[in-house]
Amino acid sequence: YEWSVGLSLYDEPTGVFSASHENIWHHVGEERYMIYSIPRSKNLHNGLKYSFFVRSWYNESSYAIFKSPGVYIDSRPPRITYSKGNHVKETLGNLTKDVDFAKFGDEIYVDWTNKFPGTNTVGITMFRLYISTYPGGHDVHAAEDDLDPTVSRYLIPLQNIIPSTRYYANIQAYGKSGLHTTVSSDGFMIDVDPPEPGVVYDGQGWRDMEFQNSSEDVSASWHSFSDIHSGISHYMWCSTTETESSTCSIRSWLDVSLFTYRSHTPNPSLENGIRIIHKVYAVDAVGHMSVVVESDGVTVDSTAPMREDRSLFLDNIVQNPSFESDSFGKDLIEIEQMTACETHTITGWSATPGSCVWLATTSINHAQDGNSYLVVRGSVTQTIQGLEKDQKYRIVFYTSHLPFSSSVIANKEGFINVDGTRHVFLLYNKVQRYDNRQTSHIIMIWHQHTFFFLARSSELTIEIGSTDRSTGITIDSVQIQKNILHRDSSVNKNNHVQAHAVFVHDWTSVHASWNFIDLESSIVDYSWAIGYVVGGTQLQDFHSVGLRTFAYNRTLKLTQNSKVHVTVVATNAAGLKTVSYSEPITVDFTPPVLNVVRDGKGLDIDFQDTLVIIANWDVADPETGIRECRWAIGTKPGETDLHNFTRAEHGIWTVSQELQIYEVKDKTIYMTVRCENGAGLVTSRSSDGVRIVLSAPSANDLEISIMGISKSVYLPRDLFHGDASAVRIRWSGFRNDLGIEMCEVTLEGPSIEVTELVTVDTQGYMCTDFKGLHLKDGLHKVYVTGINSVKMRTETKIGNFTLLTKPPLKQDTRTLLLNWNPSTGSVKTSWDSVFTSDYPLQYEVSAGTVQGGSDIIQWQETRLNQLIFSVDKESIGPTGKDVFISVRAISPSGLYETANAHILLT
């Protein structure tokens, strides 16, 4: 036998062996079987049919060729396609869509239609199906029978299926050669749990809205719905009102796919104040539904915050606000000199542990209100009772530096605690003190501080003090007043914000307060700014102060007479804003101009005879105007010991007050006026005083003198007068506080009587001249009566003088007697009976070496009738020395007569 292999298509072997270099036929003797192994260098072609050929030799020349039926070559497993949609999948019922999840009760089929293409020449002989927990496995279920190659769907039995476990369908396709291909599905799972509910937010933001400002839009967002098995396939959403929460009255249920937010425009628009509820539930891939989750609701607020106007402040509810209830206060100098800490018990107030508290009392104009204030090192507290819960209150108080030399810091800090909230404030510019440590010359610069608070209960404790316990501060005029508000849509936005500034030299603090309300949503933020124009931010950008209804800025440097505007923006929970402005604040670093305080109704008076004290003044402030003026009465400038400061009616700067006689009799009373301008700066000035004269002034100390007028070089003496045509009378002794306004002067003498009224000068010396007279020699009298400003007359004082118009008489028969004594070198001259007069005379003697000379003696005065003088003997020559003597007799009225003589000294 010989064998060979070749294509079945031919009758002889062809297509395997090459006749050119291989044997086509191979001898096997008489063997009747053969196995042919294809060499590595050869490959049979898939899809072709190959046969064994046997040549049987009967003799050497005859044979017969036999061919087997043949076998197709199929060395590859069944082919699969990867075209879209052709894969092994799980489907429900007659549906063709692949499912990954199902629930018990569903008919789940494995479908592999078109996964194995039918162009395979050899074809598929059968399918085998397995269910496993991993791809390609067969650990759960195997189909009992081989499946016909025409089958492409198979119903999966669910007896051994466990929920929440992923299972895979595995299909093995077998070819005719016995090779197979295994294809697995992407798996499926039985889901028995509904989705976990999540959270529904009102609005589409990342946080829940409580309010919205649009009435033409409803929107919601949600998150945290979950399904760890089949996953969420879509959400259902609807919206309704709070009053109709069982239905979906605004928007019916809507499938929103996998979107986690949705909005809707209702028709008609929603009413303001209505509350919207959003509902959402999730549906998973197998149809399980979560519970319906509702939002907490959002309120429609389409109106911005409403302005509230502050109509008035009620009475002050602080006990002993200006510290006037106690009378044991000490003077500032006394407090400064104390080395030990003391704590005065102040009515209505308590000192905190470790604090030093003194009550300072002064009659000088130091206190901001009244005559007393506190000096505090540490702090003081008071518990305020009778508050109305949820009502707004304003607290105003004044502080100043201590006027102590040990207080060297120019700027200090104080604080106030109101119901647990601490506010720190600054005090700028130390108290001025400009004379030898006298309290009457201390200038207290009071700083006003304003804060607001909302009462949370019927009582609260306030604490005011200094952060620096080594020196401390002063405190005065603490006021807490209820703030009465009213709502009115007509409130003007341009003056709604209450703003003021506190000016201390070149430092300024701007304070503002405001009131808004929102009936639908609450206000969530206030922001404020400061600028030179309405709405401007040149001085301060918008700063949020949270929900506080007041704010202040203590770091501004402003220009005199500039205008400052405060802008406040109120934002409600719905995002709507309302803007309000203050009236312009005029920057004014100059206090009011108060030049003079006048006693009396008109021009200033210095005396009066009534107990009603009247004063008037002129005050002006061109920048900010006059806010108020207060007046007080005391026995010294600036003091208030007779009448405390009282507010004057605005614009009427004339006041009056009746005092008791024991307070003012024969005293000088001073009116002190303190005026405050619109910027809070104060000017204080006192009148020059008015003396209360209730009885005629005294003339006990009055002295009258004649200012003598002479016709010669000699003045009259001893109440004599030498001019018959004029008399000058002078008097003094009326005290300045007697109020003598004029004097009545009468001249009386032989054949004359004349009277004049003389106005008193400010120096207390008074005089008058009577001229054009024709007086006769003899005694004259002068009568002086003082008249004060209230027309009371003093007693009349009398003075007198004697008119003498004739000089002494010289006796022609009498001459000067001269006697030279060489031994003593003296000359004696006498003039007894040379001159005669009815009045005492005074003599003036001169002697010289020439006629009229005075080189020996000059103008020697004497009341005697002789005079001895010395001559230097050495000056007498051999021929002697001439001495000329002159004696002048002078009358009391200054008139004189002269006698001359000559002597030769040898």
Domain of residue 320, CATH code: 2.60.120.260
Average pLDDT over residues 712-733: 88
Q: What pLDDT is attached to residue 129?
A: 94
d(CA 728, CA 730): 7
Residue 688 lies in a domain: no
Nearest CA to 768 among 801, 726, 736, 739?
726
pLDDT in tens, 127-180: 999 999 999 999 999 988 889 888 999 998 888 888 889 999 999 999 888 889
Among 245, 268, 302, identify where a domain stops: 302
Report whether pLDDT(810) > 70: yes
The residues, ordered by sequence, that sit 6+ positions from 840 with a Cβ below 8 Å of its Cβ are: 718, 863, 892
Q: How far apart are CA 319 and CA 383, in angstroms?
A: 9
Can you tell me the distance from the alpha carbon of 567 to that of 575, in angstroms, rounded to the nearest whole number? Answer: 18
Residues 458 and 359 in one domain: yes
With beta carbons less than 8 A apart as the criterion, state whether 209 and 296 touch: no
| Residues contacting residue 687 through CB under 8 Å, at least 6 positions apart | 596, 597, 598, 599, 604, 615, 637, 670, 671, 672
> Do 387 and 447 belong to one domain?
yes
Final residue of a domain: which of 743, 775, 803?
803
In a domain, 275, yes or no: yes
Whether 401 is in a domain gets the answer yes
Query: Is there a single domain that holds both residue 427 and residue 323?
Result: yes
Residues 299, 823: Cα–Cα separation, whole Å: 140
Cα distance between residue 507 and residue 410, in whole Å: 12
pLDDT classification of 263: cutoffs 50, 70, 90:
very high
**What is the CATH number for 156?**
2.60.40.10
Position 79 in a domain: no
Same domain, residue pair 827 and 796: no
- CA 486 to CA 491: how far, in whole Å? 10
Residue 450 and residue 327 in one domain: yes
401 and 421 together in one domain: yes
Compute the residue count for the chain: 906
Output the average pLDDT for the chain: 88
Q: Which two tokens mark 586?
A: 């005029």
Low-confidence winner among 31-45, 454-468, 493-507, 783-797 (lowest mean pLDDT):
493-507
pLDDT at 121 over 50: no
Both 437 and 338 in one domain: the answer is yes
Domains in the chain, number: 8
Query: According to DSSP H, which parts of 715-830 are helical?
Result: none
- Single residue among 247, 276, 302 that ends a domain in this structure: 302
**pLDDT exceeds cutoff 70 at 855:** yes
Q: Model confidence over 589-628: pLDDT tens digits?
A: 888 999 899 999 999 988 888 889 999 999 999 988 999 9
Single-letter amino acid, residue 223: H
- Asked whether residue 12 is assigned to any structural domain, the reply reads yes
- Asked whether residue 601 falls in the same domain as residue 528, the answer is no
Residues 364 and 451 both lie in one domain:
yes
Q: Are 304 and 471 in contact (CB under 8 A)?
A: no
Q: Helix, strand, or coil here: 755? A: strand
Domain membership of residue 789 (yes or no) is yes
Distance CA 212, CA 200 (A): 16
In this predicted structure, the answer to whether residue 557 has a pLDDT above a threshold of 80 is: yes
664-675 confidence digits (pLDDT tens): 877 889 999 999
Calpha distance 709→858 (Å, rounded): 25
pLDDT of residue 124: 86
**pLDDT surpassing 50 at residue 844:** yes
Whether 122 has a pLDDT exceeding 80, the answer reads no
Taking the C-alpha atoms of residue 510 and residue 507, their distance in angstroms, rounded to an integer, is 10
**Residue 388 or residue 409, greater confidence:** 388
Pair of tokens at residue 63: 């044979």
pLDDT in tens, 428-458: 765 454 344 444 445 677 888 888 888 999 9
Could you tell me if 396 and 478 lie in one domain?
yes
Instruction: Give the separation between CA 868 and CA 858, rounded to whole angstroms.
Output: 13
Tokens of 596: 């003079």
Mean pLDDT value across residues 281-290: 94
Q: Tell whether 637 is covered by a domain.
A: yes
Average pLDDT of the residues in 819-846: 92
- Which among 534, 531, 623, 540 has a CA at the least distance from the CA of 583? 534
81 pLDDT higher than 60? yes
β-pairing verdict for 607-608 and 690-692: parallel
How large a percentage of the chain has pLDDT more than 70?
Answer: 94
Q: Is residue 183 part of a domain?
A: yes
- End-to-end alpha-carbon separation of the chain, Å? 220
DSSP structure class, residue 334: H
- Based on the domain organization, do 5 and 154 belong to the same domain? no
My answer on whether 469 and 338 are in the same domain is yes
Q: State the residue range of the domain holding 774.
A: 703-803
What does 642-668 look like in DSSP terms, one character per residue? SEEEEEPPTT--EEEEE--HHHHTT-E
Mean pLDDT of 465-471: 82
Tokens for 810, please give them. 């010289």
Contact between residue 385 and residue 375 where contact means Cβ atoms under 8 Å apart: no
Q: Are 743 and 786 in contact (CB under 8 A)?
A: yes
